[in-house]
């Protein structure tokens, strides 16, 4: 840590015309505090241990006002799956980074937790020149260097309420391995000690309740936007660090995985919905500990601000990946994460029929691409298996919610949005993949089993409609409309086994096709930005044929052995593509067959 730093001179920029400076009298009258200070835009430097919430706070600041711009740093760290070059960081090879240090490109740089990070002069200048406050998210060493550089700015140290909270946040974020989290947490104590360095920080902000912290930071940032100096005395004389032992990260991480191992059971019709939903041990992404030891104690509250009604933290996109997370590979197609998919990072997708085949593959593809996945199916053991599989491929289980639910039961379906918002407060289903569907081979229109007709109709048609209804009602409530993808199937377009009694099944799929188009038209009629897509695969190698033959696995082999059939991952890729299209493109139906399939 702590390379000797050469600080290049000059992030001096011309102040853009402001209301004060462009007045005809040019400030000749007694200048107000605001007018004096407005000569230069200012920087807002956020400092604090890894995982304390600097990025979360910076994001809130920038998304809520165009007065602020982010200084995109350079780093030699590998990008996480959701991170984009030039947006989150400029990901730079070590050699290149060293070269750029030599060229004096950096205002500051430091080795942090084993990687190099640096703020380029150009990054800061480009924000300041646009007349915005430049928000820096840097470590303590960087803060010292920026202080030295003379850049005008307000320096805010963000502290966690406790080391235990910090550990929970790092573990809950799911972006680092146990070793990396331990390393970051080990460094946190010394970083927090830096609050006592005289003149380094202007404010100490404890990020306990997020909404309250956002409010306080906005008040500080407002000063920076006005070019005002920080208020004096906002850092306590002395901060005492409790000598608490570091939390056991491995246990914490395992606890998170363990907590999540019990799939949620959607309440059965006979049960009271609320207790059943609440009664299930669902892992919270970042459990808060009421009894946690405070990290810092000080005589007076360092940052004043009105008491806020505390709102639940809007969850961040949690899946940022770790070095151990495999990139999307053959398990869900060779295509990787399609371009355009970034908009769904951290959003919630609900997949029905998730216990096998296309549903399973779609869950995998979505989770690997950074989406929070709600896997809905009837078979609990299969959901548990899917969860273990997710865990083994590096998907943070905080991003995975298995729910045992029969989509043909209205009462169970109706509780799904509540289960989702309990797990991820302030979130709801953004993507619905209506995948569940089934067929039976005793459904002849001459003399078929009426029970099989009912089963197909209930699952394929009514299940799809009830799921859609529940999700749209929830989208309406949240005022946020996403994307619904219906698995129509090729049978929605033609009758494959008419002479063998396949007509009824095809009729249910034709209904799904019509419903998909009806839904699209209703969305257009209501002027909602909801997008609706259909996917119509031909023969896919799944349990479909075994289910159709009432559990005869041999039926699947027979139906899929004549040629290379579609794989579930091929269909998942089609789903991912639909979702990736820009908002002005609505894919209405993708028909895909195995190349050798004739009809």
Ligand X SMILES: Nc1ncnc2c1ncn2[C@@H]1O[C@H](COP(=O)(O)OP(=O)(O)OP(=O)(O)O)[C@@H](O)[C@H]1O
Ligand Y SMILES: Nc1nc2c(ncn2[C@@H]2O[C@H](COP(=O)(O)O)[C@@H](O)[C@H]2O)c(=O)[nH]1
Catalytic residue set: 80, 173, 184
List the structure tokens of 409: 């039961």
Cβ distance to ligand X smaller for residue 202 or 313: 313
Q: Which does 117 bind (CB under 5 to 8 A by kind): ligand Y, ligand X, none?
A: ligand Y
Element (H, E) at 69: strand 68-70
Cβ proximity of 353 and 435 under 8 Å: yes
Name residues contacting ligand X, limited to 281-300 (CB under 6 A): 286
Token match 């379906």: residue? 413
- Tell me which of 213, 221, 470, 576 binds ligand X, using CB under 6 A: 213
How does DSSP classify residue 562? S
Strand-pairing partners, residue 297, are 240
Contact flag: residue 313 with ligand X (CB under 6 A): yes
Contact flag: residue 79 with ligand X (CB under 6 A): no
Cβ distance to ligand Y smaller for residue 112 or 510: 112
Q: Which does 173 bind (CB under 5 to 8 A by kind): ligand X, ligand Y, none?
A: ligand X
- Tell me which of 71, 75, 194, 316 binds ligand X, using CB under 6 A: 316
Contact flag: residue 117 with ligand Y (CB under 6 A): yes
Please give the backbone phi and psi of residue 279, each rounded to the nearest 5 degrees, phi first. Answer: -75, -15
Q: Which does 441 bind (CB under 5 to 8 A by kind): ligand X, ligand Y, none?
A: none
Q: Which does 565 bind (CB under 5 to 8 A by kind): ligand X, ligand Y, none?
A: none
Shortest distance, CB of residue 55 to ligand Y, whole angstroms? 7
Cβ proximity of 413 and 407 under 8 Å: yes
Shortest distance, CB of residue 247 to ligand X, whole angstroms? 14
Q: Is 171 helix (H, G, I), strand (E, B) or coil?
A: helix
- Tell me which of 5, 187, 207, 560 binds ligand X, using CB under 6 A: 207
Q: How far apart are CA 192 and CA 162, in angstroms?
A: 11
- Tell me which of 81, 142, 328, 394 binds ligand Y, using CB under 6 A: 142
Query: Taking each helix axis from N to C terminus, what angle separates 410-423 and 464-478, rounded to the nearest 10 degrees?
Result: 40
Name residues contacting ligand X, limited to 155-184 (CB under 6 A): 169, 172-173
Q: How many residues bind ligand Y (CB under 6 A)?
A: 16
51: left (phi over 0), alpha (psi -120 to 50) or beta: left
**C-alpha distances out from residue 414 to 267, 292, 378, 473, 530, Å:** 9, 37, 15, 10, 20
Residues near 288 by beta carbon (within 8 Å), at least 6 away in sequence: 165, 168
- Tell me which of 50, 76, 356, 368 binds ligand X, using CB under 6 A: 50
Shortest distance, CB of residue 166 to ligand X, whole angstroms? 9
Q: How far apart are CA 500 and CA 64, in angstroms?
A: 60
Q: How far apart are CA 571 and CA 578, in angstroms?
A: 11
Contact flag: residue 362 with ligand Y (CB under 6 A): no
Q: Which does 496 bind (CB under 5 to 8 A by kind): ligand Y, ligand X, none?
A: none
Order of strands across the sheet with 153-159?
68-70, 133-138, 43-47, 153-159, 203-206
Positive or negative: CA dihedral 294, 297, 300, 301: negative
Cβ distance to ligand X smaller for residue 209 or 342: 209
Q: Which does 138 bind (CB under 5 to 8 A by kind): ligand Y, ligand X, none?
A: ligand Y
Residue 592 neighbours by CB distance under 10 Å? 17
Token match 């007045």: residue? 23
Positive or negative: CA dihedral 516, 522, 527, 528: negative
Name residues contacting ligand Y, limited to 121-140 (CB under 6 A): 137-139
- Tell me which of 51, 227, 230, 263 binds ligand X, using CB under 6 A: 51
Contact flag: residue 359 with ligand X (CB under 6 A): no
Q: Which stretch binds ligand X (CB under 6 A): 310-318, 359-367, 496-504, 544-552?
A: 310-318
Q: Which stretch binds ligand Y (CB under 6 A): 90-98, 113-121, 416-424, 431-439?
A: 113-121
Q: Is 77 exposed, middle or buried (0-12, 13-18, 19+ CB in 10 A)?
A: middle
Name residues contacting ligand Y, limited to 34-73 (CB under 6 A): 50, 54, 73
- Tell me which of 44, 110, 185, 188 binds ligand Y, using CB under 6 A: 110
Q: How far apart are CA 146 and CA 43, in angstroms?
A: 10
Q: How far apart are CA 198 and CA 282, in angstroms?
A: 45
Shortest distance, CB of residue 479 to ligand Y, whole angstroms? 32
- Tell me which of 112, 214, 266, 579 binds ligand Y, using CB under 6 A: 112
Q: Which stretch binds ligand Y (CB under 6 A): 107-115, 213-221, 229-237, 353-361?
A: 107-115
Smallest CA-to-CA distance from 460 within 507, 403, 522 is with 507
Shortest distance, CB of residue 219 to ligand Y, whole angstroms? 22
Chain contacts with ligand X (rule: CB under 6 A): 48, 50-56, 169, 172-173, 207, 210, 213, 286, 313, 316, 318
Site of interaction with ligand Y (CB under 6 A): 50, 54, 73, 77, 108, 110, 112-113, 117-119, 137-139, 141-142
């Amino acid at each position: 840590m702590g390379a000797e730093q050469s600080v290049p001179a000059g992030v001096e920029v011309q102040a853009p015309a402001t209301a004060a400076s462009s007045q005809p009298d040019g400030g000749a009258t007694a200048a107000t505090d605001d007018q004096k200070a407005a000569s230069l835009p200012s920087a807002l430097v956020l400092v604090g241990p890894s995982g304390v919430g600097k990025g979360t706070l910076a994001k809130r600041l920038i998304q809520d006002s165009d007065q602020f711009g982010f200084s995109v740093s350079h780093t030699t760290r590998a990008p996480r799956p959701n991170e984009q070059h030039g947006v989150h960081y400029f990901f730079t090879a070590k050699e290149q980074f060293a070269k750029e240090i030599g060229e004096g490109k950096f205002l500051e740089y430091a080795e942090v937790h084993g990687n190099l990070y640096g703020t380029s002069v150009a990054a800061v200048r480009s924000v300041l020149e646009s007349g915005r406050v430049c928000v820096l998210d840097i470590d303590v060493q960087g803060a010292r260097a920026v202080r030295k550089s003379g850049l005008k700015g307000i320096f805010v140290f963000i502290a966690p309420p406790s080391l235990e909270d910090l550990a929970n946040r790092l573990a809950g974020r799911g972006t680092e391995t146990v070793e990396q989290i331990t390393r970051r947490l080990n460094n946190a104590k010394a970083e927090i000690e830096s609050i006592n360095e005289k003149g380094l920080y202007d404010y100490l902000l404890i990020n306990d309740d997020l909404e309250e912290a956002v409010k306080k930071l906005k008040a500080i940032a407002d000063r920076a936007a006005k070019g005002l100096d920080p208020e004096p005395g906002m850092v306590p004389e002395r901060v005492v660090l409790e000598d608490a032992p570091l939390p056991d990260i491995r246990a914490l991480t395992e606890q998170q995985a363990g907590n999540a191992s019990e799939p949620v059971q959607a309440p059965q019709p006979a049960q009271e919905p609320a207790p059943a939903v609440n009664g299930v041990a669902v892992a919270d992404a970042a459990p808060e500990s009421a009894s946690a030891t405070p990290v810092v104690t000080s005589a007076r509250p360092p940052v004043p601000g009105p008491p806020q009604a505390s709102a639940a933290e809007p969850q961040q996109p949690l899946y940022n990946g770790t070095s151990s997370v495999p990139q999307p590979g053959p398990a869900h197609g060779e295509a990787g994460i399609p371009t355009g998919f970034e908009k769904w990072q951290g959003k919630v997708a609900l997949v029905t029929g998730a216990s096998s085949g296309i549903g399973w593959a779609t869950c995998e593809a979505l989770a690997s691409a950074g989406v929070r996945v709600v896997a809905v199916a009837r078979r609990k053991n299969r959901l548990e298996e899917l969860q273990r599989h997710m865990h083994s491929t590096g998907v943070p289980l905080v991003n995975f919610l298995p729910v045992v639910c029969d989509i043909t039961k209205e009462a169970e379906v109706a509780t799904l949005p509540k289960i989702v918002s309990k797990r991820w407060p302030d979130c709801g289903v953004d993507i619905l993949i209506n995948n569940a569907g089934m067929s039976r081979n005793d459904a002849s229109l001459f003399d078929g089993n009426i029970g099989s007709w009912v089963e197909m109709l209930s699952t394929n048609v009514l299940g799809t409609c009830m799921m859609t209804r529940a999700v749209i009602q929830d989208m309406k409530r949240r005022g946020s409309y996403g994307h619904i993808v219906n698995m129509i199937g090729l049978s929605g377009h033609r009758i494959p086994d008419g002479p063998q009694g396949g007509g009824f099944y095809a009729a249910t799929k034709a209904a799904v096709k019509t419903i998909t188009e009806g839904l699209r038209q209703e969305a257009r009629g209501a002027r909602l930005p909801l997008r609706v897509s259909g996917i119509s695969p031909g023969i896919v190698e799944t349990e479909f044929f075994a289910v159709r033959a009432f559990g005869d696995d041999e039926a699947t082999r027979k139906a899929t052995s004549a040629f290379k059939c579609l794989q579930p991952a091929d269909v998942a890729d089609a789903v991912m593509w639909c979702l990736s299209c820009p908002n002005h493109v609505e894919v209405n139906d993708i028909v895909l067959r195995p190349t050798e399939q004739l009809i």
